[in-house]
A and B are shown apart, each in its own frame.
Chain A
Amino acid sequence: MAGVRRRPKHRKGSPPPATPVLDATPAGPVPLDEIERRIINGLQGGFPIRERPFLEAATTLGLGEDELIERIERLFKLGVLTRFGPLFNADRLGGINVLAAMALPESDFDRVAAFVNAQPEIAHNYRREHQFNLWFVGAAETPEKVESTFHYIESVSGYPVYRFPKEREFFVELKLHV
Protein backbone atom coordinates (compact mmCIF):
# COMPACT_ATOMS: atom_id res chain seq x y z
CA MET A 1 0.00 0.00 0.00
CA ALA A 2 0.96 3.57 -0.43
CA GLY A 3 3.46 4.26 2.30
CA VAL A 4 3.39 7.97 2.77
CA ARG A 5 6.71 8.10 4.55
CA ARG A 6 9.12 5.62 5.93
CA ARG A 7 10.95 5.52 9.22
CA PRO A 8 14.72 5.31 9.06
CA LYS A 9 16.27 2.22 10.63
CA HIS A 10 18.34 3.91 13.32
CA ARG A 11 16.92 6.85 15.13
CA LYS A 12 16.76 6.02 18.82
CA GLY A 13 19.59 7.68 20.64
CA SER A 14 20.60 10.00 17.82
CA PRO A 15 21.19 13.37 19.48
CA PRO A 16 19.13 16.38 18.50
CA PRO A 17 20.96 18.28 15.77
CA ALA A 18 22.48 21.54 16.90
CA THR A 19 21.58 23.66 13.89
CA PRO A 20 17.97 24.58 13.23
CA VAL A 21 16.77 23.85 9.72
CA LEU A 22 15.17 27.14 8.86
CA ASP A 23 14.42 28.03 5.29
CA ALA A 24 11.72 29.25 3.00
CA THR A 25 12.24 32.94 2.87
CA PRO A 26 9.42 33.55 0.44
CA ALA A 27 9.60 35.38 -2.82
CA GLY A 28 7.85 38.71 -2.78
CA PRO A 29 4.72 39.50 -4.78
CA VAL A 30 5.13 39.05 -8.53
CA PRO A 31 3.36 41.50 -10.87
CA LEU A 32 0.80 39.64 -13.00
CA ASP A 33 -1.16 40.76 -16.03
CA GLU A 34 -4.87 40.24 -16.58
CA ILE A 35 -4.45 36.98 -18.49
CA GLU A 36 -2.23 35.51 -15.79
CA ARG A 37 -4.71 36.48 -13.11
CA ARG A 38 -7.48 34.86 -15.12
CA ILE A 39 -5.46 31.63 -15.34
CA ILE A 40 -4.64 31.58 -11.62
CA ASN A 41 -8.20 32.33 -10.60
CA GLY A 42 -9.72 29.89 -13.06
CA LEU A 43 -7.45 26.87 -12.94
CA GLN A 44 -7.02 25.99 -9.25
CA GLY A 45 -9.23 23.00 -9.92
CA GLY A 46 -11.35 21.46 -12.61
CA PHE A 47 -8.57 20.82 -15.12
CA PRO A 48 -10.24 18.35 -17.51
CA ILE A 49 -9.34 14.69 -17.85
CA ARG A 50 -9.64 14.68 -21.65
CA GLU A 51 -7.44 14.07 -24.65
CA ARG A 52 -6.65 17.78 -25.11
CA PRO A 53 -7.20 19.21 -21.64
CA PHE A 54 -5.21 22.40 -22.23
CA LEU A 55 -7.27 23.12 -25.32
CA GLU A 56 -10.52 22.74 -23.36
CA ALA A 57 -9.28 24.74 -20.39
CA ALA A 58 -7.92 27.43 -22.70
CA THR A 59 -11.25 27.74 -24.51
CA THR A 60 -13.03 28.21 -21.19
CA LEU A 61 -10.53 30.93 -20.28
CA GLY A 62 -10.76 32.60 -23.69
CA LEU A 63 -7.20 31.68 -24.67
CA GLY A 64 -5.44 29.47 -27.19
CA GLU A 65 -3.97 26.10 -26.24
CA ASP A 66 -0.34 27.11 -26.91
CA GLU A 67 -0.86 30.41 -25.17
CA LEU A 68 -2.15 28.70 -22.01
CA ILE A 69 0.77 26.26 -21.93
CA GLU A 70 3.29 29.08 -22.45
CA ARG A 71 1.70 31.18 -19.73
CA ILE A 72 1.82 28.30 -17.25
CA GLU A 73 5.49 27.72 -18.09
CA ARG A 74 6.15 31.40 -17.49
CA LEU A 75 4.32 31.36 -14.15
CA PHE A 76 6.54 28.48 -13.07
CA LYS A 77 9.65 30.42 -14.07
CA LEU A 78 8.45 33.42 -12.06
CA GLY A 79 7.93 31.21 -9.01
CA VAL A 80 4.19 31.93 -8.95
CA LEU A 81 3.26 28.27 -9.28
CA THR A 82 4.60 25.44 -7.20
CA ARG A 83 2.82 22.63 -9.03
CA PHE A 84 0.41 21.84 -11.84
CA GLY A 85 -1.46 18.56 -11.78
CA PRO A 86 -3.47 16.29 -9.50
CA LEU A 87 -3.44 17.05 -5.79
CA PHE A 88 -3.64 13.75 -3.95
CA ASN A 89 -5.34 13.29 -0.60
CA ALA A 90 -3.03 11.38 1.75
CA ASP A 91 -5.90 10.37 4.05
CA ARG A 92 -7.76 8.69 1.24
CA LEU A 93 -4.67 6.81 0.17
CA GLY A 94 -4.43 5.07 3.50
CA GLY A 95 -2.08 7.44 5.25
CA ILE A 96 -2.82 9.69 8.20
CA ASN A 97 -1.93 13.28 9.15
CA VAL A 98 -2.11 14.60 12.70
CA LEU A 99 -1.60 18.21 13.74
CA ALA A 100 0.34 18.74 16.97
CA ALA A 101 1.80 21.62 18.95
CA MET A 102 4.45 22.26 21.58
CA ALA A 103 4.93 25.15 23.99
CA LEU A 104 8.66 25.78 24.06
CA PRO A 105 10.71 28.33 25.97
CA GLU A 106 12.74 30.61 23.71
CA SER A 107 15.99 29.17 25.02
CA ASP A 108 15.11 25.69 23.79
CA PHE A 109 13.13 26.61 20.71
CA ASP A 110 15.78 26.19 18.00
CA ARG A 111 17.11 22.95 19.38
CA VAL A 112 13.72 21.27 19.71
CA ALA A 113 12.40 22.69 16.43
CA ALA A 114 15.39 21.25 14.60
CA PHE A 115 14.90 17.90 16.28
CA VAL A 116 11.23 17.85 15.27
CA ASN A 117 12.19 18.76 11.69
CA ALA A 118 14.69 15.92 11.59
CA GLN A 119 11.96 13.31 12.03
CA PRO A 120 10.96 12.00 8.60
CA GLU A 121 7.32 11.61 9.71
CA ILE A 122 7.04 15.37 10.25
CA ALA A 123 5.65 16.88 7.04
CA HIS A 124 5.03 20.51 7.97
CA ASN A 125 6.40 22.59 10.81
CA TYR A 126 5.58 26.23 11.54
CA ARG A 127 6.61 28.72 14.17
CA ARG A 128 3.59 30.64 15.42
CA GLU A 129 3.12 33.55 17.80
CA HIS A 130 1.50 31.97 20.83
CA GLN A 131 2.39 30.10 24.01
CA PHE A 132 2.00 27.06 21.74
CA ASN A 133 4.75 28.26 19.44
CA LEU A 134 5.63 25.18 17.40
CA TRP A 135 2.97 23.59 15.18
CA PHE A 136 3.67 20.56 13.05
CA VAL A 137 1.99 17.73 11.17
CA GLY A 138 2.90 14.09 11.63
CA ALA A 139 2.22 11.96 8.54
CA ALA A 140 2.63 8.21 8.24
CA GLU A 141 0.96 5.05 7.02
CA THR A 142 -0.71 4.35 10.37
CA PRO A 143 -1.90 6.28 13.44
CA GLU A 144 0.43 4.14 15.55
CA LYS A 145 3.44 5.33 13.62
CA VAL A 146 2.49 8.98 14.04
CA GLU A 147 1.87 8.40 17.73
CA SER A 148 5.23 6.73 18.13
CA THR A 149 6.96 9.71 16.49
CA PHE A 150 5.18 12.14 18.83
CA HIS A 151 6.08 9.99 21.79
CA TYR A 152 9.70 9.89 20.66
CA ILE A 153 9.78 13.69 20.35
CA GLU A 154 8.36 13.98 23.88
CA SER A 155 10.84 11.56 25.37
CA VAL A 156 13.90 13.12 23.75
CA SER A 157 12.90 16.78 24.15
CA GLY A 158 11.32 16.53 27.58
CA TYR A 159 8.35 18.67 26.49
CA PRO A 160 4.77 17.50 25.92
CA VAL A 161 3.37 17.21 22.42
CA TYR A 162 -0.27 18.33 22.31
CA ARG A 163 -2.23 16.34 19.73
CA PHE A 164 -4.96 17.91 17.61
CA PRO A 165 -6.21 15.15 15.32
CA LYS A 166 -8.95 16.35 13.02
CA GLU A 167 -12.39 15.19 14.02
CA ARG A 168 -14.11 16.74 11.07
CA GLU A 169 -12.81 18.36 7.91
CA PHE A 170 -14.83 20.87 5.96
CA PHE A 171 -14.54 21.44 2.26
CA VAL A 172 -10.89 22.24 1.71
CA GLU A 173 -10.20 24.18 -1.41
CA LEU A 174 -7.58 26.69 -2.28
CA LYS A 175 -9.30 29.79 -3.44
CA LEU A 176 -6.52 32.31 -3.70
CA HIS A 177 -7.75 35.24 -5.70
CA VAL A 178 -5.47 37.65 -7.56
Chain B
Amino acid sequence: MTGLTTNRQAVPVDALDLRLITATQSGLPLVPRPYHAIAEQIGLSVEEVMARLTRMLETGAIRRIGLVPNHYALGYRANGMSVWDVADDRVVELGEQIGSLVFVSHCYVRPRCLPLWPYNLFAMLHGKSREEVTAYAEEIRALLGEACGASDILYSRGILKKTGLRIT
Protein backbone atom coordinates (compact mmCIF):
# COMPACT_ATOMS: atom_id res chain seq x y z
CA MET B 1 0.00 0.00 0.00
CA THR B 2 2.89 2.43 -0.31
CA GLY B 3 3.17 2.58 -4.08
CA LEU B 4 2.19 5.84 -5.69
CA THR B 5 1.29 4.96 -9.22
CA THR B 6 -0.61 7.27 -11.46
CA ASN B 7 -1.08 8.00 -15.11
CA ARG B 8 0.28 11.51 -14.82
CA GLN B 9 2.38 12.73 -17.68
CA ALA B 10 4.10 16.01 -17.02
CA VAL B 11 4.34 18.33 -19.99
CA PRO B 12 7.15 20.86 -20.12
CA VAL B 13 6.21 24.38 -19.12
CA ASP B 14 8.76 27.18 -19.18
CA ALA B 15 9.17 30.36 -17.16
CA LEU B 16 6.82 32.34 -19.42
CA ASP B 17 4.15 29.65 -19.11
CA LEU B 18 4.50 29.90 -15.36
CA ARG B 19 3.95 33.64 -15.48
CA LEU B 20 0.89 33.05 -17.58
CA ILE B 21 -0.40 30.41 -15.15
CA THR B 22 0.19 32.68 -12.18
CA ALA B 23 -1.62 35.53 -13.91
CA THR B 24 -4.68 33.47 -14.90
CA GLN B 25 -5.16 30.73 -12.30
CA SER B 26 -7.53 32.82 -10.23
CA GLY B 27 -9.46 33.88 -13.32
CA LEU B 28 -9.59 35.93 -16.51
CA PRO B 29 -10.43 39.63 -16.36
CA LEU B 30 -14.07 40.26 -17.31
CA VAL B 31 -13.33 42.71 -20.10
CA PRO B 32 -13.97 42.43 -23.86
CA ARG B 33 -10.28 41.65 -24.58
CA PRO B 34 -9.16 39.59 -21.58
CA TYR B 35 -6.10 38.09 -23.29
CA HIS B 36 -4.88 41.57 -24.20
CA ALA B 37 -5.23 42.57 -20.55
CA ILE B 38 -3.24 39.53 -19.42
CA ALA B 39 -0.60 40.19 -22.09
CA GLU B 40 -0.16 43.74 -20.89
CA GLN B 41 0.01 42.63 -17.28
CA ILE B 42 2.85 40.15 -17.81
CA GLY B 43 4.65 41.93 -20.64
CA LEU B 44 4.01 39.50 -23.49
CA SER B 45 2.36 40.04 -26.85
CA VAL B 46 -1.27 38.99 -27.08
CA GLU B 47 -0.31 36.55 -29.86
CA GLU B 48 2.17 34.90 -27.50
CA VAL B 49 -0.41 34.67 -24.71
CA MET B 50 -3.01 33.10 -26.98
CA ALA B 51 -0.49 30.70 -28.55
CA ARG B 52 0.72 29.51 -25.15
CA LEU B 53 -2.81 29.05 -23.78
CA THR B 54 -3.76 27.13 -26.92
CA ARG B 55 -0.75 24.87 -26.52
CA MET B 56 -1.47 24.22 -22.83
CA LEU B 57 -5.07 23.39 -23.69
CA GLU B 58 -3.87 20.94 -26.36
CA THR B 59 -1.37 19.24 -24.06
CA GLY B 60 -3.87 18.96 -21.22
CA ALA B 61 -2.01 21.35 -18.91
CA ILE B 62 -5.29 23.29 -19.06
CA ARG B 63 -8.33 21.04 -18.64
CA ARG B 64 -10.82 23.58 -19.91
CA ILE B 65 -11.51 27.31 -20.02
CA GLY B 66 -14.84 28.50 -18.72
CA LEU B 67 -16.86 29.11 -15.63
CA VAL B 68 -16.72 27.09 -12.43
CA PRO B 69 -20.06 27.06 -10.62
CA ASN B 70 -20.56 26.63 -6.90
CA HIS B 71 -22.40 23.30 -6.58
CA TYR B 72 -24.36 24.39 -3.57
CA ALA B 73 -25.54 27.66 -5.12
CA LEU B 74 -26.97 25.60 -7.98
CA GLY B 75 -28.87 23.48 -5.50
CA TYR B 76 -26.58 20.44 -5.70
CA ARG B 77 -26.59 19.65 -2.01
CA ALA B 78 -26.12 15.88 -2.09
CA ASN B 79 -22.57 14.91 -2.87
CA GLY B 80 -21.86 11.20 -2.87
CA MET B 81 -18.72 9.25 -3.63
CA SER B 82 -20.00 6.02 -5.16
CA VAL B 83 -17.55 3.13 -4.99
CA TRP B 84 -17.74 -0.18 -6.84
CA ASP B 85 -15.98 -3.54 -6.81
CA VAL B 86 -15.61 -4.19 -10.54
CA ALA B 87 -13.89 -7.14 -12.21
CA ASP B 88 -10.33 -6.10 -13.02
CA ASP B 89 -10.50 -7.19 -16.63
CA ARG B 90 -13.53 -4.97 -17.29
CA VAL B 91 -12.95 -1.96 -15.08
CA VAL B 92 -11.29 0.24 -17.72
CA GLU B 93 -13.95 -0.35 -20.35
CA LEU B 94 -16.77 0.18 -17.85
CA GLY B 95 -15.04 3.14 -16.23
CA GLU B 96 -14.98 4.92 -19.60
CA GLN B 97 -18.73 4.48 -19.89
CA ILE B 98 -19.43 5.64 -16.36
CA GLY B 99 -17.13 8.66 -16.69
CA SER B 100 -19.16 9.85 -19.64
CA LEU B 101 -22.49 9.78 -17.76
CA VAL B 102 -23.80 13.30 -17.39
CA PHE B 103 -24.22 13.11 -13.60
CA VAL B 104 -20.68 11.82 -12.93
CA SER B 105 -18.14 14.59 -12.37
CA HIS B 106 -15.04 12.49 -11.66
CA CYS B 107 -14.34 8.82 -12.25
CA TYR B 108 -11.20 6.89 -11.34
CA VAL B 109 -9.79 3.40 -10.99
CA ARG B 110 -7.98 3.12 -7.66
CA PRO B 111 -6.40 0.21 -5.78
CA ARG B 112 -8.49 -1.92 -3.42
CA CYS B 113 -7.38 -2.10 0.18
CA LEU B 114 -8.43 -5.56 1.32
CA PRO B 115 -10.03 -6.68 3.52
CA LEU B 116 -11.37 -3.27 4.59
CA TRP B 117 -11.93 -1.77 1.16
CA PRO B 118 -13.01 -4.00 -1.75
CA TYR B 119 -13.80 -1.15 -4.18
CA ASN B 120 -11.68 -0.23 -7.21
CA LEU B 121 -13.91 2.17 -9.18
CA PHE B 122 -14.81 5.59 -7.78
CA ALA B 123 -17.48 7.84 -9.33
CA MET B 124 -18.47 11.18 -7.82
CA LEU B 125 -22.21 11.86 -7.99
CA HIS B 126 -23.88 15.21 -7.48
CA GLY B 127 -27.60 15.66 -7.01
CA LYS B 128 -30.15 17.91 -5.44
CA SER B 129 -31.15 15.23 -2.94
CA ARG B 130 -29.94 11.86 -1.74
CA GLU B 131 -32.85 10.27 -3.57
CA GLU B 132 -31.52 11.70 -6.81
CA VAL B 133 -28.00 10.44 -6.06
CA THR B 134 -29.39 6.99 -5.20
CA ALA B 135 -31.23 6.91 -8.52
CA TYR B 136 -27.99 7.75 -10.36
CA ALA B 137 -26.23 4.95 -8.50
CA GLU B 138 -28.96 2.57 -9.66
CA GLU B 139 -28.20 3.57 -13.27
CA ILE B 140 -24.53 2.80 -12.69
CA ARG B 141 -25.39 -0.51 -11.08
CA ALA B 142 -27.46 -1.47 -14.12
CA LEU B 143 -24.64 -0.49 -16.46
CA LEU B 144 -22.04 -2.49 -14.52
CA GLY B 145 -24.26 -5.57 -14.40
CA GLU B 146 -22.57 -8.81 -13.41
CA ALA B 147 -19.09 -7.28 -13.57
CA CYS B 148 -19.78 -5.60 -10.23
CA GLY B 149 -19.97 -7.06 -6.74
CA ALA B 150 -20.29 -4.88 -3.66
CA SER B 151 -20.84 -1.15 -3.82
CA ASP B 152 -21.44 1.75 -1.48
CA ILE B 153 -22.11 5.49 -1.49
CA LEU B 154 -20.17 7.70 0.91
CA TYR B 155 -22.00 10.97 1.43
CA SER B 156 -20.10 14.06 2.35
CA ARG B 157 -20.93 15.44 5.78
CA GLY B 158 -18.85 18.53 5.32
CA ILE B 159 -15.97 20.13 3.53
CA LEU B 160 -13.17 20.45 6.07
CA LYS B 161 -10.70 22.00 3.65
CA LYS B 162 -10.69 22.90 -0.04
CA THR B 163 -7.93 24.78 -1.71
CA GLY B 164 -7.38 25.03 -5.44
CA LEU B 165 -4.19 24.52 -7.35
CA ARG B 166 -1.61 27.02 -6.19
CA ILE B 167 1.43 27.47 -8.32
CA THR B 168 4.16 29.00 -6.23
Contacts and interface: CB of A to CB of B under 8 A. Distances in A.
Given A87-B62, A165-B110, A49 B35 contact: yes
B142 interface: no
Q: Which range holds the interface residue count of chain B? A: 35 or more
Interface stretch (B92-100, B133-141, B143-151): B92-100
Contacts, number: 306
A80 interface: yes
A15 interface: no
A147 B33 CA distance: 43
Interface in A130-149: 130-132, 134-136, 139, 143, 146-147
B110 A92 contact: no
Interface residues of A, number: 95
Given A5-B168, A23-B159, A84 B66 contact: yes
Interface of B: 1-11, 13, 18, 21, 24-28, 30-36, 46, 50, 53-54, 56-57, 59-77, 81, 91-92, 95-96, 98-100, 102-103, 105-111, 113, 116-117, 122, 126, 152, 154-168
Interface of A: 1-6, 20-24, 26-30, 39-40, 43-47, 49-55, 65, 69, 72-73, 75, 78-96, 98-99, 103, 113, 116-117, 122-132, 134-136, 139, 143, 146-147, 162-178
